[in-house]
Chain A
Amino acid sequence: MTRVVHPRTFGSDLNMTAFIQYTVQGLAAGGFYALAALGLAIIFGALGVVNFAHGSAYMLGAVLSAVLLTTLNVHFWAALVIVPLLMFAFGILIERLLVRWLLRLDVLYNFLLTFGLSLVLVDVVKNLYGVSGLPYEQPAGLQGLIHVGGVTLPKYQLFVFVFSVLVCVIVWVLLTRTRAGMIVRAATEDPDRARALGINVSRWITPVFGFGIAVAALSGVLAAPFRAITATMGTNFVIILFAIVVIGGLGSILGAVVAGFLVGLVEAYGQAYAGTFAQIAIFILMVIVILVRPAGLFGRRDAA
């Protein structure tokens, strides 16, 4: 006689400690999303490119960290700097060699190009490193637990949340407080008006693309100690990223970041209180946002 005890869905875990743990887990998951979505939003804003290869950039960030660790003994903390720099260069290369040539055509062309590129990148990694994943050690100093006011939290997840917020804040400061940032923001949020004001928008396009790729790769570096490092790790990830960008509002950088954390939370609460419906919950959220605010939470009205 088998007896399967199903956990009660709603209500049973409603104690405060578990709720705080779920919240931190959601914010950590949101950190991965927010960083990658930030890059996706910047690229879409400045180039009008729906970058389907963004999941591959996330994947390459994690794979590069693992390869650098095993071959050159580059540790997590160094990889946080080196990998985004390498991927920035990779992004510039992709923009110069491929994306640039299709910018004047319909957006579908670059969508198909980056989709094809993602397939190529996934298969190259599969061929080089197999399918079962690469090993990665827990970074020094981030193992174990931390006790905050009676609640036990895993250090690494807390770190992912704090670090990703920090990076988002830094990017925000760069975008709002520096001249280069303001130009990029103007070019991202309203390229036509920026051009009309005499800003050479196309000169900024290449580094902006590289930057977007680098931020996604940074998210991948953060994922290396925490998730399976495989060629296909970005394949489902990128679908959720698109949902996030739609929820946040196409072209809105702040929207992408806020929606990234929001989706992380929805996922965690969904998993905690509604079981396997968690993944649908994200798309239900997307449908509601599209119905109520077609331009997304932070989107411009005309973007819809």
Chain B
Amino acid sequence: MAHTRRKVVGAVALLSSAMLLAACAGPAATSTSKLTDGKVVIGVLNDQSGVYKDLSGPNSVIAVQMAVDDYKAKYGDKAVATNIQIVKADTQNKPDVGNVKAEAMYDRQQADVILDVPASSVALAVAKVAAAKKKLYMNVTAATTDLSGPTCNKYTFHWAYDTQMLAKGANGVVAAGGKTWAIVYPDYAFGQNMSKSFTAAVEAAGGKVVASIPTPFPNDNFATFITKAQASNPDVIGIMAAGGDLINFVKQYNTSGAKAQLAVGLMFITDIHSLGVDQFTGTTFTDAWYWNYDKKNRDWADRFLTLTDTRPSFAHAANYSAATQYLEAVQRAGTDNADAVVKELEGKKLEDLFLRGGEVRADHSVIHDSYTAQVKTAAQVTEDWDFEKIIATNPAKDAFGPVNPECKL
């Protein structure tokens, strides 16, 4: 009996002292901080286990951590965001899952900003959540131009690339003599959007699209579609598939003996790594960022390598950039209040590791220099992941499409 009572007394004492401590710490923390809830929470919402895991996924969380570390090192005691947390969740690339996870992040985990979100359908669903919750959302890995078009809103920023930026790569190919194109695209939102952007870009550059061939998605057998594309005798065959389907296509293209030049709509460096440089040699595409472009990129890629054992894709660098610019905006605003932070981002010219000549446009599309890349030959590759030769830098103004008139902010 006495034993039990002592236990109860002990527990009550512990509890009350804990409450006392909390009471002391509580007001103290808020009195020095201008943060809405005493902390800044950055949510990384992406594909942690599926097809986009390697090109972004868990390593993007590490890239965001690098941005937080750099921010703390830069501002030290003067940092507005003293207490920064990173939370992550898996969308499984399903819009409904993404929707629920985004709500949970904003509401329960008190996220101030959500980053990344690959797959266009999921990305658009999360944009609606951000608008409803009035919290920031910086999309990095989705390609659809609708993010800065029909579904644009005050709190959504589209950071790294879109289908129109990718399609600008067609200019160089047409100028180099690739006048007639056959476009092969997977028949779903992404593929249709890509096909539209590329058709417009090819025709604007003075070329002609002679065949436009939809394929099932996903698909592991492209041989027949390659023969069909060849039948129209094009100079260039443009493939708009991504990930595993892109690899299926290129493998089968290379055994088909097709003579047309191959142009890839969307390529991540992880695709070249997984297929081997031989299969892609000579292929040109538009890249948003390349790790071995200059010393600045390389230094960062070296840090990334020690943390992850791999080289960064442009999505990793873009997540770093988005997190950095968010924290910088918080610093300038002196608070993490969403409306104040948005004001610090809108119309700003930004420079960092990823954004060269960067600018936040009126439709919240963040434009920057893009690069025309060509896959090296095996002999030119001097180290692992050294796959790309940058043959042209496209200034930000020309790299993206015009401001989307469908976006009314």
Chain A residues engaging chain B, CB cutoff 8 angstroms:
1-7, 13, 18, 21-22, 25-26, 28-29, 126, 130-138, 143-145, 152, 154-157, 225-228, 230, 232-233, 236-237, 267-268, 271-272, 275-276, 278-279
Contact = CB atoms under 8 A, between A and B. Distances in A.
A22 B227 contact: yes
Contact of A233 (B215, B220, B225): B220
A28 B228 contact: no
Contacts of B209: 3-5
B247 A133 contact: yes
B216 A133 contact: no
Max chain B CB contacts within 10 Å: which of A22, A228, A230? A228
Contacts of A132: 51, 54-55, 243-244, 268, 270-271, 273-274
Interface stretch (B80-88, B150-158, B249-257): B249-257
A6 B227 CA distance: 15
Interface stretch (B37-45, B103-111, B194-202): B194-202
A1 B55 CA distance: 34
A132 B271 CA distance: 7
Contacts of B54: 130-132
B49 A21 contact: no
Contacts of A232: 51, 244
B220 A227 contact: yes
Contacts of B206: none
B211 interface: yes
B223 A130 contact: no
Interface in B227-259: 227-228, 231-232, 243-245, 247-248, 251-252, 254-257
Contacts of B26: none
Nearest to B268: A132
A278 B216 contact: yes
Nearest to A29: B221
A7 B220 contact: no
B278 interface: yes
A137 B203 contact: no
Contacts of A226: 251-252, 255
A145 B213 contact: no
A251 B31 CA distance: 76
12 contacts: A2-B200, A3-B209, A18-B231, A22-B224, A132-B54, A143-B255, A157-B223, A230-B247, A232-B244, A233-B244, A271-B215, A275-B214
